[in-house]
Structure 1
Amino acid sequence: MSFGSPLFVLAIIAMSTMGWVITTWVRARHGYPVENEWSGVAHRTDPDAGRKIDLLSSENEKLVGRISRLEERIAVLERIATDPATRTAREIDALR
């Protein structure tokens, strides 16, 4: 095969194309964004992404409420721990 023959040129084009196909396949399989010549980058999409976001948002709201309640309780405990004993005893008895 000589370097100037059409078969050699076609072999180089075929090898380049196969290399591009294999590289794109490996990138897509491992979750890397696939580059497209015309429209930029195609990212991997997850069909359950919306549902996961909704579940995480609701869990986040629950945890934020829980943390605020715990902060209030800690503030009360700090106040009880730092107040004088006589005043604290009166407030505890008033709560009963």
Structure 2
Amino acid sequence: MDFPFGAFAPVAAIVGLAAIVGWVFTTWMRVKNGYPLDGAWGQAVYPKKDEETAERVKLITQENAQLRAELGSIKDRLANVERIVTDGSHRLDQEIEMLRGRAN
């Protein structure tokens, strides 16, 4: 009984396509993150870095630090709001004010 190569062709095409897509994706990620690429003879080839890229990285780093500081401030404020809302005396004050509103 002969092996049907026609049934194997779509599987081989899918595996080959997946390998190519994976290689392109990993190469893109390496370039994006500044890792060296492999040259034709196995030597490391570093992506081109220019002054504009270095300046963009510097600005993004500064913006990241500012956003982290702002996030810390917001977390502190949220903790204070949670403390006030869950405070028992605050609830008691709300209930008293609600009862005063009904009495009038």
TM-score, normalisation: structure 1: 0.49
Larger radius of gyration: 1
TM-score, normalisation: structure 2: 0.46
